[in-house]
Structures are given as structure tokens and as C-alpha cells.
A and B are shown apart, each in its own frame.
Chain A
Amino acid sequence: MSKLLEVRGLSVDFVLPNGSKRVLDDVSFDLKRGEVLGLVGESGSGKSMTANAISCLLPKKAQVLGGEVIFFGDETPADFLKLSEREMRNKYRAKRVSLIFQDAKGSFSPPRSVGRHIEEMVRLHKGVSKKKAKGIAKEIFGSMFGDSKEGERNFDKITQSLSGGQAQRASIALAALVTKPDVLIADEATTALDVTVQAKVLDELMQVVRENNISLIFITHDFGLVAEYADRVVVLDKGKVVETGVTEDVFYRPQSEFVKNVLRDLPRIDKRLRQKEHTSLQNNVINVQNLSVAFPYTTPKGLFGNVSEKEVAVNNISLEIKEGEIFGVVGESGSGKTTFMRSVLRVLPDIAQLEGSVDVLDKDVYALEENQLRALRKMVGGVPQGTKQSLTPRKRIDFLISEALDIHNLYESDNADKKEEERRERVAQLMEAVELPVDRMRDYVARLSGGEAQRVAIASALATNPKVLFLDEPTASLDASRKHTILNLLLKLQEERGLTYVLISHELPTIASICDRVAVMWKGRIVELGGARQVLENSLHPYTQILRTSFSVPDPKEARRNLRLRKEKNLVMPSFSAQELESIGQSELVESSQKGHYVDDVTQQLFFNKMK
């Protein structure tokens, strides 16, 4: 394969008021024609900066210190960094080098329909009449959606009324299919999507790329995705290239410390962090029977009328969580995981309509008086998702951690001075327990990193010495090493304090690495429930299987086996219409031949029918 793009010694600085910061330091790599090059690194490693530098779209504060980006697509090679803005625009942008962004919806102007963007693109680059452009645009758009009816339907929509996957498909059509560029840069193109959608969209993207002989620079933080799709890999860390090579070499014979560490730390579906497994689970801590939660809303009808409808977020779920276990709830966005947690904690919004019973520590949560509820809250802690956003930025860490102590007045002494002393002591103990340096007690939340904020949230949830801890997406948006440390911390705390965890996550690897039992949720229902091994290794429900193969493992052979499985067994998320979803009706878990392994046979049948 011939060389198409060569990046040599690229260095970029960010000019900030208090001096400049190096974001890219001597970055060099080649891109060959028709290959998929994985550009992988953790947040802040300079991946996006590299993409922007190649296409000369750096933000104003960025300053290129040196280097070359040489494009060999024409007879005479051109250095992008030396071209004028006009030349770059007229000859190369979109025609030769296109970009797909992470925020697919954000890359379309919100009040314009996606179709008009594509029309504009066709007119700009093909120089055809307005009428003809619309026809071409519709054809291109339809081909991206496979089914031309779906394309037709979405052509005149604005991005607000498209789903994330549809918007990303539209932006792939826009970037790759109109001009068929030589180089396509996909900058975290599927990070914001649900995994099953991500797998679908990426498979489609790879097909587009292979069919049109486009060279793809595939930028992601996910080592698994790189293992699955990339031919070669460039690993970036803190603006430097730490490793380059053929995918198999990088994953099986890593040279750099960084890659070795990441591969060691990354939670994997097939690797358990927790060796010990629970054998004798006796007492129920949480007992949920036939829980349904619905949110009413109104839709307009006719000129003035409204119809009230309701969205069922949690649909008739029953489960028991035993003392001392780590119970995982896994599902994609909108599956009802968080609503389930909020209904057990009784922190649902007022409009929610709840049915069924929720018993926590043998008390019916919804029958309790205010003061009894408060006493119960002491025993059940919750760590919300998006920790950094959920902590008040204007308060100091020690305040946040000790807030619960003040609310429940959990001090031994009555004297104000002594209380203060006690408070400081307890905060220090808790900070030590979550492995935060005690001298940061007076810091503000704004100065914490994502992982540190997570620790503060855990510490504040532990302040009341609870028995049960709910953790909503504790590892989301953390880098591999931080994920690893948080999970280890959780295990350590659990052993020390005999806690029961309910771990809610969309990341199957996180769930797989520490949970004893797992519930898989889909559209508000639990579709499969059982021991972690049972559910993940002998999945009975097609949805679990799809979910499992959608997660890529940082191991090229395994990951490509997933890819093959998806194709051969047609393990692709089917799309269901609203009527089909409504017609499911009541469903209940049925125990399979294995003890303690339950599956929802109604939805199981539905998936089987759909996937035939």
C-alpha cells in the first residue's frame, strides 16, 4: 500500500494567559491508502488536536510550532501546514480530507434539516443545479440508511428529532459519501452512542470506508474498538506518540509502559477483578416486587387539545438483593436503570406514578413516615452519576463529605467546638478510606479531577456508615487506570465494611469485573438475571448476547471474533416499532434449567422472531 499522508514532527502549543502549554509534542506517523489507522489515547492525550491540525482547523489559541502534514494524494505532494486557508478550503477540505465529529447533532445547524446540509454539500462540490442536487442528496442519504424509506423519512428532519445513531449516520453521509474523500478522520465518532448502536454504526462506517477505498483515521479512547477495527495503531499519551505498529503487535507485544499499563488495568468482560465469590447469601437487603414506574406527559392533539400519555420507565420488575453481595444492573440509556435506583431510594420526581412494593432492610420504603425514612436513609447511600456535576462547585470537600453527619447529627458530643473537632477527624478518616490526600480537605470541587470527584462522592455516601450503597455509573468517563483504581477501591471498602453494592452501569466490563449477580435491563424490564458467570458466559437472552458482542475486548483476536459473531449469528440490535414494544404486555422472569438464572421468555421470543 502506498503512503497517503505523512505527519512529521508535529508540535502544537496552547497559548494561555499564564504561559503556553504543549499539547502535541513531535507527533509523527504515516497513513497508507485504504487502511484503518487507530489513533488511540486517554482524555487529554492530544487525539483531537492531531485531527484538527491535519485538517488545519485548530482553535485560535493553538499555535503550530513545527512539523509537516504531507499529503501524497496528488501528483505533487502538498504540506497542509504551509498552504493558505483559501487553498486548503478550495482544494483539500471535504474533497480530500473529511471529518466526522463526536457530537453528531452538534455538527448540523440546529434549525436546518439534515437534508439541506447534504444538498448544500452536493451543490458546493459537484456544481449541479438545485433540483438535481436534491435528487443526488436524497440518493446518498438513502444509501446510508440502507432502507430508503427510513432515509426519506429523515431527510427533512432537523437533528433534534433524530436519534443519536441516525444523526451520526447522516453525518457520515455528509462527510464521506458526497465527495468520497481520500482521508476520513472520525474523531470519537461513536462515543456518545449506546454500545449496540455504536457497533451498528461502526460496522456501517467500515463498510463505507472499504467500499470507497477511503483511508480512515479512527480516533477513540476505547482500546477495544481499535483492536476490533484498526489495521495499524498509533498510541498517544500526553501529546506524544508512545507506540506505533500493526494492531496485533501493539496489543500482544506492547513495548511502552503506557500501553502495558492500560492493557493491564482496563476492565474486561472476560477478566474478573474479584476472586472471591459469594456462596452463602442469606438475608434480603432489598426486596422489590412488581415495581413499575411511569412518567405521565401530554402530547398535543388537534388545534387545542392535549392527550395525556405515560412513559413506562420501569416495567414490572421483581428482584431480591442479598446482604453482602455486589449486584450489577446493566443496560443502555433509557433502559430504566437510574429510575430503578431512584425508586428504591425514594427520590423519584413527584409526577412519577409508582406501583408495586419496595422493601429495604425489611421496611416498606413507601409506607414510611418522614422521620422513619430519614433513619432508613442513613443505612442506604447513593452515589449519583456524573459526580462532578452533582457536587456543588461552590462548596469545599470537607463540607460535602460531612454534610450527612450534620443532617443526621451523628456526633457523639454536644459541644460545638468538640463537634467541629470530631467532624474534622471523621472527614479525615473517610478521605483516607477513599485514598484521597487529607490535606486537600479545603479544596473546592472545581479543582478535582473526575476520579477524585468520584472518591469525594463515595466518601460522602459512606459518612453515615450505610449498609447498602447504590453506585450509578461509577466508572463512566474515567480513563482505564482510574477505572481500575476506583473498582479496586470499591472492592476494598466492601470487604472492610461488609457493604452491599448495587452497581448500575452501561459498561458491561465494569459490571463483569466485580459483580456477583447481574440483572440486564432493556426498555424498563429485566430481561435476564443471574450469577455474573451465568449471564455473561451462557447468556440466554438475545439482547444480552448482542450487548456482549457489542463490547469490544482490548485483544484483536477476541474482538474480531465478536465482529464475526455479529455477522454470522446476526447479533445486531433489531429495531422495534412503538406498536411492537407496546404489544409486549406483561412479562415475567422464568427460571432456566440452571438454578438462579432467570430469563424473560416473552421478550426472548420477540427478539428471536425479529432476528430470524
Chain B
Amino acid sequence: MTLIVIFGLWFVLAILISKNRPSVRRFAFKRFIWVPILFIPIWFGTYSMMKAAPGDPAYVIAGSHASEEVIEATREAYGLNRPHIVQFVDDTWKQANGNSGNSFIFSEKTIAQLAAERIPYSFAITFPSLLVILFVGLTVGLWATFKKGTWLDTFLLSSALFWQAFPSLILIQFLMLIFSVKLGWLPAGWSGDWTAVFTTTAIIPIVTMSLGGIAGMARFVRTITLNVIDEPYINAAKSRGLGPFRIAIRYVLHNASLPLVTVLLPMFFLSFEGSFFIERIYSIPGFSNFALEALFARDYPFLLFFAFWGILLGLFIKWLTDMLYIRLDPRATQ
């Protein structure tokens, strides 16, 4: 049911995006058709790998000291001794209906409930970081482009390389050591619920998350805008009396945004993964932190939930990227 509702909403979105534009509609629906075709094999592959990995879920449920009979009974109770394909269909059906089951480690709550509790925390640090990455990265990258060949360009470029190479795992401890422990200006861990993002608590994780991203973004923006800036239409725009700011925004950035969106949206998705260390070290009760715990505890219902909806989200982001791309560049559908 849940899955049908989600696909329905997706379908409506496709119609809305391609309103009055037949070529876009064709493109949107062609890509939409590909979603189940891609989803089923990816989901099946992931599912099978999870089941084939060492560590029987029955051991986890029954506990490490359980006897052979108890484990057998657990298998029977949870249906773990059924054929692989039957289990797959059953689990898929459950997920598709939004029935994610109870967590092994926090057994009083369903996975969906747990996720709803945890996701706001993760979102609270990833979303501001992404905005910072976007704006600062773009500005620095463009600046470096227009100052190409000067010492400033060299400086920005080499410092970007430094920050990109610096692991966030080390960086956050470093920042905590200086600003929390030595100077005492900032707290050394998360306190309060997700709304604490508006307090000083959020500074260290957001800065840690942004720095590497800004560096990567700036270098990427510089590379693509350098290609754009030599195009004849830039010179032509200049000859028409447009100022450098207008040229940078309307001409350079618009044309550079085409390769940019293909990187940017997937980056949003991936940043959840990047926050594992940060959430762990800064003790944020976020989704990544939870995912890490669940992974080590072999919390199967969680892993299934994570894989199923994660794959779907990934495909949605990919689709959205394509839609955004043709929105920005009408050439793509012609």
C-alpha cells in the first residue's frame, strides 16, 4: 500500500513537472518506467547478499548462549527456514506495505518509528551543511576561475586540496579539542533534541561536514567553469555590454550548472553516509549513528528497511536529477 501511494505521488510529480511540455513528459515517463526495472534486481541482489553474509539472524534473536533447539525454534517462528525466494517475496511485501517490523535491539518500537525519531537529527546537520557547501563552494570556485593564474587561485586551489584530503574523523576531534576542551567556547557533544541545531551545539558538526564538501565543490566548480568561460557566448555577452556579475550568474553559472546538478543531488544522498563518524563522535542520536549500531548488532529488520527504502530514494534522486537537468537545459530532450 505504502509503495503504491509513493509511486502515485511520484506519478503526479512527473505530470506536474512536464505540464504542457510533451517532450519533457515523454522523457519523464520513460525514466519513470525504468524505476521498477532497476529496483527489483538491485533490491534482490542486496537482499540475497544480506542473507548470504555470515551470521544467522536466528543467533541474534535467540541470543548467543541459546541452545540448538531454541535456535531451531526461532528459525521456525520467524520463518527463516523457508526457501530464499519465499522469504524475499514475503519481506518485499512487508516493506511495500510499510510494515517494517520491530527492531531487534529496540524491540518495543517499529523501525519506521525509530527512523522518524532519528532522521530529523541527521537532517538538521546535513541540510545546513549542504547549503553552506553550495554557497561557499560556488563562490570560492567562481572566484578562483575569474582569478585564474594569480596567487589567489593557487592559494584557494591548494587549500581546497588540503581540506578535501583531511579526514572528517580527525577533523572533528581536532575541532572539539581546540574549541571545546582547550578554549571552552563550544560544547563537546550534542544536547537537546534536533532543534538544538539553532544553538552553538551544531557549529562543530556542521563545520566539519562542510569543510571537505566546500573544498570538493570549489575544485569541481572551478574545473567546469573554466571550460565555460572560454566559450564564444561569454565573449559575445561581454560585447553586448553585460557586466561581469551578470555574466557570471546568467551565463557561466547556468551553463556550468548542467554538470553540477548531476553531482549535487546524489551528493545530498551520500552525505548521510558521510555523517557516520560525526554523529558517532559528537554523540548525535541521528540516523547514521543508529544505522551503525544496528549494523553491528545485525538488526535485520532495520537492514532490510534501510536497503529497501534507500534504494528507492536513490532511484528517486537520480530521476529528479534528470528532470532538473532537462529543466535547465532544453537541449537534452531534443
Contact = CB atoms under 8 A, between A and B. Distances in A.
Interface in B312-334: 328-331, 334
A303 interface: yes
Contacts of B254: 109, 111-112
A243 B77 CA distance: 100
Given A110-B255, A112-B254, A93 B240 contact: yes
A95 B236 CA distance: 14
Contacts of A90: 241
Interface string A417-437: 000000000000000000000
Contacts of A124: 240-242
Interface stretch (B22-30, B106-114, B173-181, B187-195): B22-30
A99 B236 contact: yes
B233 A108 contact: yes
Given A101-B232, A161-B334, A300 B251 contact: no
B69 interface: no
B238 interface: yes
A303 B26 contact: yes
Contact of A158 (B30, B258, B331): B331
A110 B255 CA distance: 8
Interface string A432-447: 0000000000000000
Contacts of B334: 160-161
Interface in A305-349: none
A113 B26 CA distance: 21
B54 interface: no
A519 interface: no
Interface string B296-316: 000000000000000000000
B250 interface: yes
A160 B331 contact: yes
B239 interface: yes
A178 to B, nearest CB: 9
Nearest to B333: A300
A93 B255 contact: no
Interface in A205-257: none
A557 interface: no
Contact of A57 (B231, B235, B250, B331): B235
A72 B240 CA distance: 20
Contact of B240 (A94, A300, A303): A94
Nearest to A107: B236
B241 A89 contact: yes
Contacts of B328: 111
B237 interface: yes
Contacts, number: 79
A588 interface: no
Interface in A79-99: 89-90, 93-95, 98-99
A511 interface: no
A559 interface: no
A95 B241 contact: yes
A296 interface: no
A109 B251 contact: yes
A158 B331 CA distance: 8
Interface in B37-54: none
Contacts of B239: 55, 57, 93-94, 98-99, 175
Given A111-B254, A111-B330, A106 B233 contact: yes
A26 interface: no
Contacts of A94: 239-241
Contact of A110 (B29, B241, B331): B331
Contacts of A106: 231-233, 236
B243 interface: yes
Interface in B241-274: 241-243, 250-251, 254-255, 258
B240 A174 contact: yes
Nearest to B238: A57
A120 interface: yes
A121 B328 CA distance: 21
A103 interface: yes
A106 B23 CA distance: 24
A110 B243 CA distance: 19
Contacts of B240: 93-94, 98, 121, 124, 174-175
A113 B334 CA distance: 14
A107 B235 CA distance: 8
A111 B331 contact: yes
A271 interface: no
Given A109-B233, A121-B240, 18 more contacts: A57-B238, A93-B239, A93-B241, A99-B236, A107-B236, A108-B233, A108-B236, A110-B329, A111-B254, A111-B258, A111-B331, A112-B250, A112-B254, A113-B330, A158-B331, A160-B334, A304-B26, A304-B29
24 contacts: A93-B239, A93-B241, A94-B239, A101-B235, A101-B236, A106-B231, A106-B232, A106-B233, A107-B232, A107-B235, A109-B250, A110-B233, A110-B329, A111-B328, A111-B330, A112-B250, A120-B242, A121-B240, A124-B242, A158-B331, A160-B334, A303-B25, A304-B26, A304-B29
Interface of B: 23, 25-26, 29-30, 33, 231-233, 235-243, 250-251, 254-255, 258, 328-331, 334
**What 4 A-B pairs come out closest when comparing CB atoms?**
A107-B236, A94-B241, A106-B232, A93-B241
